Amino acid sequence: MKQRHEVFTRTDVAVKLYTEEKMKKMLIGMLAAAVMSSNAVAADKVTIEVGYPYSHLFDVTFQKIMPGFNAAHPDIEVKFRATYENYEDATNTVLREAVAGNLPDVTMQGLNRQALLVEKGIAKSLEPFIAKEADFEKDGYHQAMLGLSTFGGDVYGLPFSISLPVGYYNEDLMKEAGITSQPKTWDEVVAACKKMHAKGIKNPMFWGWNITGNWFMQALMWTQDTPIVKDGKMNFGGSEGMKSLETMKKIFRGCDMQNLSFKDALASFSAGEIGMLFWSTSALGSVTRAKGDAFELKTGPFPGMSGTPMGLPAGGNAAMLTSASDDPARVAAAWTFLKYITSGEGAAAVAQTTGYMPPNKAANEIILADFYEKNPNNKTAVDQLPLLRDWLAYPGDKGLAITQVIYDGIEGIVTGEYDDMADLQEELMEETSDLLPK
Amino acid sequence: MTHIFDIKETLKHAVLIVAAIIVILPFYVMSSYSLKSPSEIEANRGGFIGAQQLMEDDKCTAIKGDVEECYFRPVVYNYTMAFKKAPLLRYLLNGVFVTVSIFILQVLIALPCAYALAKLRFWGRELVFTMVLFCLLIPVHAIALPLYIMLAKLGLTNTYAALIIPWTISVFGIFLMRQFFMTVPDDLLDAARMDGMSEFSIIWKVMLPTAIPALMAFAIFSVVAHWNDYFWPRVVITGNRDLFTPPLGLREFKGDADGSAYGPMMATAMIIVAPLIVGFLLAQKRFIEGITLSGMK
Amino acid sequence: MRPGHSSSTPFWLTFPAVALMFLILILPIIIAAILSFTDYSLGNVGAEWVAFENYERMLTRRTYIKMIIATVTYVGVVVPASLILGLCAALLINSLKFGQAIYKTIYFLPVMAALLAMAIVWEFALHPTIGIVNEILEDGCTVPWVKFLLSFEFLPWTDPSASWFATGCSEGFPLWLGDRDYAIWTICFIGIWQGFGFNMVLYLAGLTSVPRELYHAAQVDGAKSAWDRFWLVTWPMLGPTNVFVVTITSIRSFQVFDTVEALTQGGPSKTTFVMMFAIYEKAIKENQIGLGAAITIVFLVLVLLMTLFQRQFVEKKVHYS
């Protein structure tokens, strides 16, 4: 009995030992495989962190881009950070993160907010990477495009989504008032307003003076081929500045424009109350969605002062390299991502998913040719691309304060607080020059 | 003669109902928008529930093309977007975790201090109470940036700790509980001391049970305030969407100058306020008792 | 001194609170005070000492006068209005036989809703042409008795066609948020809408602590109408409640920010440029942290003065039972 038991036990133990051995080997094997593969993963996969604004707009853009990117670059993993609320928030967040020491690798910043990050040394120059590229131009990166992100002769960003000012026209209301062609100058706009007033349309026009960054004021300046800032000084103290202010006064008074927020203006336009809306092309998706079937919408080029404008400021954002990492693989991965999203299919996704357009020549002319044919309203902005100019930042730390001062001044024209444009011009020049760095 | 129809009572109800309509108007609009399509919202068409015609989800068509699955009824679209686009469930859970943690820590810190201020005499008592009153005046926007920098140097940004720690000191809570404790008769405490209880256990075994109503009041103020807090989480959570609290879920739908998605935004807002309404209905009786006893006398 | 505890117990009980108060609330204010004398901007390595330049700017630029006016207007309108409405609501609801819980919940709803969503809803509701508020007003134009009432036609010495309502009917009702004359009042209205429910609840609590016997005693003494009863019994007994409510409401209305940020951004023409928003605009939006800090210090001084004033005046007149 005992012996059998012992044998039994011994066999038991033997079996146990045997299976344990096997398990051990298996486990070790698995562990080794895991370690090796994770090592392999660790060795091959690089992670970069990216931040971008306007979740509601650009989430879908990146959803469209990523499958192609992941297929082309399986060794790079992209983690998206919490989205920024708007361009101001984008810059403020990056500034905070610079202090806290956890900058992202790539960040999308408003075009007029790039200069600040360059000044503070947070954005890195892209020249070394561009130098290594075999044929950058062939990928569609042309001078005008790169010019938007060039500071002090070096390129610091790659423009990602661009917008230009356009006119949105309610064709039904225009026809009703007997206007047969889209206005080409501001005088024609005022004339159209008067015709609509005569037909009982109370609020014929809205002009986007309140868009961020004094964009429309810069539009009027660039229309006369003049930058609003020159050589580090405010440049609207001369005749071009005067003409800009006078044009605004003419438009606001001639059309009896109401002091609406853009949200309210958009609502009015969608309800078919406003005939002409002048704003960035980036709202095209929203406007189309909001109006539904209420009326026919056509976009048209931004009117000029005495003919076509000589230049228009670019709106939108650019991708910048802010990686503080020491790992060259990581920085290289960030550059790869930067390149991918601003050229080829990556760039085309911008136009296909938002009202913005990619400034990349190849993307616009080749990949998107069909798209623009089917969506003529989107094409208006693309046609104006040759007019592309900088969205200028005001120099120094108080750039935003200067923006606010000019905003308040223009608001005064809308509300009727200011009537003498010469006085206003003087006051604005004085206050803004005071805020420039000494 | 007593009529069932009491003129005075009816008048009172009439006034209250008119006021209630004005008060509830925005909620009516909010719930209505959560059911409508973008064009109905922008142009203010369609009555309360809107026409519920099939609408195109242009984000979906941009990726998948003009397929049938990209067309929805507005109400379905709005509420599914609310949960899909922002992982709302996750944010709600975050909200619960953060507000509950904040409240528990607030109680742990405020109660002993309130007790000491109310029932014990010690050197510096007036000073501490003055500190409390002064701190009541300090608004969060004034201290946000220095606090952020301090947390950043500790490496605590983008963590639950950053969401919770700044709120653990609730001077409002100290004030409220002190008022309440002052109304508790001293004999109760003397008896407890005779029994050999330490001050510490007096707080948790004697004061706390009697303070439940006041605590409920404190809880409601605290939970509502921190559930809806938008400013501080937005300053301190920049890296990781997973840590968002419910109000931050609203911002997923903001587009500013390029147009926002109002339908899903309103749907999200409805979902966020629902727990609070339920909580208030359940707690409102105890809540008012709590304030009564907290020394309005 | 009470026997039975060591003299260090109070210290340990209050230490966590005091330490946190200092670290989280007072220390940042001290930092802000120091920064208010500099030119600091986030992202800079250092800061320049500019002494009182920031404060000087505040005393001379027109914008800051508008800031004080906006803040004082808001506090001056919202505090009394939300107190009175809260009190009336509490009195009415308290005397109801049924339906109390429903009204309480409805009036407390504005306090509970997420501000961001509410602000957007208000913006839509206040739209000049398609917003629900102006739509209702416009509907009233065609209803004769409404027009009669609101254009004051019943007063013989006024010209009804020149009244606010009549001009509104013919030319369109105002831009509630875009007109310099209306914006601040609109913000005040929304502030009252939001806050009176809070006060109502506090007053309801206060009312339940008024002993019934006092009302009987007052009746015996000859107080016949509800009005008399109110002045004789209710109002004095609400004294302590009043102190608490007035203090909290005043502090909260000085700190108004969310509605302004969401709806008017301080405009139009800085008519709604309240101090909290000014701090946010200067310190965070414009990254002029020194200037923002200076406004913060001025803000704290003002609120401190107001609180002290209140404690002097109001509290003296209150008697505790």
Chain B partners within 8 Å of A80 (Cβ): 241
Question: DSSP letter at C281?
Answer: I
Chain B partners within 8 Å of A85 (Cβ): 234, 251, 254, 256
Alpha helices (H) along B137-182: 140-153, 160-164, 171-181
Chain B's closest residue to C13, CA to CA, is: B112
The residue behind tokens 């007790």 is: B115
Q: What are the backbone dihedrals phi and psi of residue A272, each rounded to the nearest 5 degrees, phi first?
A: 80, 25
3-state secondary structure of A407: helix
Chain C's closest residue to B261, CA to CA, is: C120
pLDDT range class, residue A2, cuts 50, 70, 90: very low
Neighbours of chain A (3+ CB pairs under 8 A): B, C
Q: Which two tokens stand for residue B23?
A: 């008060």
CB contact under 8 A, C201 and B288: yes
pLDDT range class, residue A206, cuts 50, 70, 90: very high
User: Are B133 and B175 contacting, i.e. CB atoms less than 8 angstroms apart?
Assistant: yes
Neighbours of chain C (3+ CB pairs under 8 A): A, B
Write the CB contacts of A71 (distance below 8 Å, at least 6 apart in sequence): none
Alpha helices (H) along chain B: 7-33, 38-43, 58-64, 74-84, 88-119, 125-136, 140-153, 160-164, 171-181, 186-194, 199-202, 208-210, 212-227, 231-236, 246-251, 262-293
Q: Rounded CA gap, A182 and A379, in Å?
A: 16
Contact status of A85 with chain B (Cβ, < 8 Å): yes
Q: Rounded CA gap, C225 and C233, in Å?
A: 12
Q: What are the backbone dihedrals phi and psi of residue A72, each rounded to the nearest 5 degrees, phi first?
A: -75, -30
A412 or A22: which carries more pLDDT confidence?
A412
pLDDT range class, residue A4, cuts 50, 70, 90: very low
pLDDT of C28 higher than 50: yes
Q: Which of C24, C87, C237, C275 is the mutation pick for testing B, counting most B CBs within 10 A?
A: C24
Could you say which of C123, C268, C287 has the minimum Cβ distance to residue A397?
C287
- The pLDDT score that the predictor gives to residue A6 is 47
CB contact under 8 A, A411 and C269: yes
Contact status of A212 with chain B (Cβ, < 8 Å): yes
C-alpha dist (Å) from residue C14 to B201, C118, C234: 15, 39, 37
* Closest CA–CA distance from residue C158 to any residue of chain B (Å): 29
- The pLDDT score that the predictor gives to residue C142 is 78
Spatial CA neighbour of C297 closest among C22, C19, C38, C17: C38
pLDDT of C237 higher than 80: no
Spatial CA neighbour of C320 closest among C203, C205, C237, C214: C237
CB contact under 8 A, B296 and C209: yes
3-state secondary structure of A208: coil
Q: Which of C20, C289, C308, C310 is the mutation pick for testing B, counting most B CBs within 10 A?
A: C20
Contact status of A172 with chain B (Cβ, < 8 Å): no
- Mean pLDDT in chain A? 85
pLDDT range class, residue A272, cuts 50, 70, 90: confident
| Angle made by CA atoms C220, C225, C227, in degrees to the nearest 5 | 115
pLDDT of C140 higher than 80: no
Alpha helices (H) along A256-394: 262-270, 284-291, 328-341, 344-353, 361-362, 369-374, 376-383
- The pLDDT score that the predictor gives to residue A41 is 45
Whether ipTM tops 0.95, in short, is no
Chain B partners within 8 Å of A212 (Cβ): 257
Q: Rounded CA gap, B16 and C90, in Å?
A: 11
CB contact under 8 A, C269 and A273: no
Contact status of B104 with chain C (Cβ, < 8 Å): no
User: Are C74 and C191 contacting, i.e. CB atoms less than 8 angstroms apart?
Assistant: yes
* Closest CA–CA distance from residue B67 to any residue of chain C (Å): 32
Chain B partners within 8 Å of A96 (Cβ): 148, 152, 235, 238
- The pLDDT score that the predictor gives to residue C225 is 76
Could you say which of A92, A99, A412 has the minimum Cβ distance to residue C284?
A92
Please report the sign of the dihedral spanned by the C-alpha atoms of residue A162, residue A167, residue A172, residue A175. Answer: negative
Chain C partners within 8 Å of B251 (Cβ): 116
DSSP-assigned beta bridge partners for residue B146:
none
CB contact under 8 A, C285 and A264: no
Counting one residue from chain A and one from chain B, the pairs whose CB atoms sit within 8 A come to 125
- Quick: pLDDT tens for C216-234: 888 788 777 777 778 878 8
Chain A partners within 8 Å of B149 (Cβ): 99-100
Contact status of C127 with chain A (Cβ, < 8 Å): yes
Residue type, B14: A
Chain B's closest residue to A92, CA to CA, is: B235
Chain B partners within 8 Å of C47 (Cβ): none
Could you say which of C96, C115, C320 has the minimum Cβ distance to residue B228?
C115
- The pLDDT score that the predictor gives to residue B202 is 82
CB contact under 8 A, C113 and B269: yes
Could you say which of B39, B157, B259 has the minimum Cβ distance to residue A283?
B259
Question: DSSP letter at B71?
Answer: E
Contact status of C260 with chain B (Cβ, < 8 Å): no
CB contact under 8 A, C270 and A95: no
pLDDT range class, residue A77, cuts 50, 70, 90: very high
Q: Which two tokens stand for residue C307?
A: 């609180």
Chain C partners within 8 Å of B15 (Cβ): 92
The residue behind tokens 């103290």 is: A237
Could you say which of B58, B153, B238 has the minimum Cβ distance to residue A93?
B238
| Angle made by CA atoms A292, A298, A300, in degrees to the nearest 5 | 145
- The pLDDT score that the predictor gives to residue C317 is 58
Contact status of C226 with chain B (Cβ, < 8 Å): no
User: Are B233 and B245 contacting, i.e. CB atoms less than 8 angstroms apart?
Assistant: yes
Chain A partners within 8 Å of C180 (Cβ): 415, 417
Chain C partners within 8 Å of B9 (Cβ): 96-97
Q: Rounded CA gap, A406 and A384, in Å?
A: 26
Chain B's closest residue to C321, CA to CA, is: B297
Could you say which of C128, C179, C287 has the minimum Cβ distance to residue A264?
C128
pLDDT of A95 higher than 80: yes
Contact status of C179 with chain A (Cβ, < 8 Å): yes
Q: Rounded CA gap, A325 and A322, in Å?
A: 9
Chain C partners within 8 Å of B165 (Cβ): 24
The mean per-residue pLDDT over the stretch C114-136 comes to 81
The residue behind tokens 């004789």 is: C232
Chain B partners within 8 Å of C124 (Cβ): 29, 33, 41, 44, 262
Contact status of A332 with chain C (Cβ, < 8 Å): no
The mean per-residue pLDDT over the stretch A89-107 comes to 88
- Quick: pLDDT tens for C255-285: 888 888 888 888 788 889 999 899 888 888 8
Contact status of B200 with chain C (Cβ, < 8 Å): yes
Residue type, A46: V
Chain B partners within 8 Å of A211 (Cβ): 257
Could you say which of B62, B234, B235 has the minimum Cβ distance to residue A60?
B62
Contact status of A261 with chain C (Cβ, < 8 Å): yes
The mean per-residue pLDDT over the stretch A169-196 comes to 92
Neighbours of chain B (3+ CB pairs under 8 A): A, C
Chain C partners within 8 Å of B11 (Cβ): none
Q: Which two tokens stand for residue A409?
A: 């001044």
Highest mean pLDDT range out of A165-174, B173-182, C4-13? A165-174
Chain A partners within 8 Å of B157 (Cβ): 100, 102
pLDDT in tens, chain B (297 residues): 455 567 888 888 888 888 888 888 888 888 888 888 887 777 777 777 777 777 777 777 767 777 777 777 888 888 888 888 778 889 999 999 999 999 999 999 999 898 888 888 888 888 888 888 888 888 887 888 888 888 888 888 888 999 999 999 988 888 878 877 877 788 888 888 888 888 788 888 888 887 777 787 788 788 888 998 888 888 888 877 888 888 888 877 877 766 678 888 888 888 888 888 888 777 766 666 655 555 443
pTM: 0.81
According to DSSP, the β-strands at A165-170 and A297-301 are antiparallel
The mean per-residue pLDDT over the stretch C59-70 comes to 86
